[in-house]
C-alpha cells in the first residue's frame, strides 16, 4: 500500500506537511529532522503493528456479505459506490486509494489574514482508509468532523450530492460496518 515518495509515514509527515502535501509549507513550519536510525525507524515499525478491527459483515473483497447485512447497510453500500461517489477515492477492500486529493474547500472560505499569515483552504489531503472508521473518531485529516454523521453531511455539502436524510442514515450504517 505504500507508494509514497518517502519510505515511511513519519518521514513523509516531517518533510512534506502531510495535511497539505506541500514541502515548501513544511519548510516554513520548521522541519524537525528526526534521527532516521532510531526515531523514524521505531515509528515506522510501530506503524506496521496496528491492523484494522474485525469487520464480520465484509467479505475478502471488502464488500458486504448479503447474508449478514441489514437492508440499510446494503442501501448504504450502494450509495457509497454510487450516488455518494465515496468509492471513487475510498476503494474496497481497504477503502482508500492512498492518493492525495484536493476537495477544493476554498469555495467555502473567506480569505483573511490570521497572525500575519493568509488563511487558506486545505489543499490536497491524503485519502484516509475507512476500514475501522467507527473506532477512530473524529474524522477528516484534522479531526474537524466529530461523528460519521458530520462527515456524511460535510461531503454531501462540498460534493453537492443532494442526499436525502434517509440516504445519509443508510450511508452512516454502511460506514459503521467497515
Name residue 100's beta-bridge partners: 126
Render 116-135 in DSSP notation, one character per residue.
TEEE----EEEPPP-TTGGG
Least reliable range by pLDDT among 11-15, 110-114, 165-169: 11-15
| Cell numbers given for 159 | 460534493
Model pLDDT, residue 115: 73
Predicted confidence (pLDDT) per residue in 92-141, tens digit:
998 988 888 888 887 777 777 767 776 666 678 888 889 989 888 888 87
| Cell numbers given for 113 | 489574514
Is the confidence at residue 169, as pLDDT, over 90? yes
Please give the domain boundaries of the chain with CATH numbers for all domains: 9-47 (no CATH), 71-177 (1.10.760.10)
Model pLDDT, residue 126: 82
Is the confidence at residue 5, as pLDDT, over 50? no
| Cell numbers given for 64 | 458486504
Predicted confidence (pLDDT) per residue in 64-90, tens digit:
999 999 999 999 999 999 999 999 999
| Cell numbers given for 38 | 532510531
Model pLDDT, residue 61: 93
Q: Strands 117-119, 112-114: parallel, antiparallel or unpaired by DSSP?
A: antiparallel
Is the confidence at residue 59, as pLDDT, over 80? yes
The SS3 call for residue 88 is: helix
Q: Which residue reads 475507512 in cell numbers?
A: 130
Predicted confidence (pLDDT) per residue in 143-162, tens digit:
778 899 999 999 999 899 99
Q: Which helix (H) or strand (E) holds 114?
A: strand 112-114
| Percent above pLDDT 90 for the chain | 40
Rg (CA), the chain: 18
Q: Which helix (H) or strand (E) holds 100?
A: strand 100-102
Q: Phi-psi bin for 86: left (phi > 0), alpha (psi -120 to 50), beta? A: alpha
pLDDT bucket at 6, cuts 50 / 70 / 90: very low
Q: Strands 117-119, 124-126: parallel, antiparallel or unpaired by DSSP?
A: unpaired
The SS3 call for residue 64 is: strand
Amino acid at each position: 500500500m505504500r507508494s509514497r515518495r518517502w519510505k515511511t509515514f513519519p518521514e513523509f509527515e516531517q518533510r512534506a506537511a502531510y495535511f497539505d502535501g506541500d514541502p515548501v509549507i513544511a519548510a516554513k513550519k520548521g522541519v524537525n529532522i528526526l534521527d532516521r536510525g532510531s526515531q523514524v525507524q521505531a515509528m515506522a515499525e510501530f506503524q506496521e503493528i496496528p491492523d484494522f478491527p474485525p469487520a464480520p459483515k465484509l467479505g475478502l473483497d471488502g464488500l458486504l456479505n448479503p447474508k449478514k447485512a441489514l437492508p440499510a447497510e446494503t442501501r448504504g453500500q450502494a450509495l457509497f459506490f454510487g450516488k455518494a461517489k465515496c468509492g471513487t477515492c475510498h476503494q474496497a477492500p481497504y477503502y482508500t486509494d492512498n492518493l492525495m486529493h484536493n476537495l477544493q474547500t476554498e469555495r467555502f472560505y473567506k480569505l483573511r489574514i490570521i497572525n500575519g499569515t493568509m488563511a487558506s483552504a486545505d489543499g490536497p489531503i491524503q485519502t484516509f482508509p475507512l476500514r475501522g472508521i467507527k473506532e477512530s473518531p473524529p474524522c477528516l485529516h484534522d479531526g474537524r468532523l466529530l461523528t460519521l454523521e458530520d462527515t456524511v453531511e460535510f461531503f454531501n455539502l462540498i460534493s453537492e450530492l443532494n442526499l436525502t436524510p434517509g440516504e445519509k442514515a443508510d450511508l452512516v450504517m454502511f460506514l459503521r460496518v467497515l
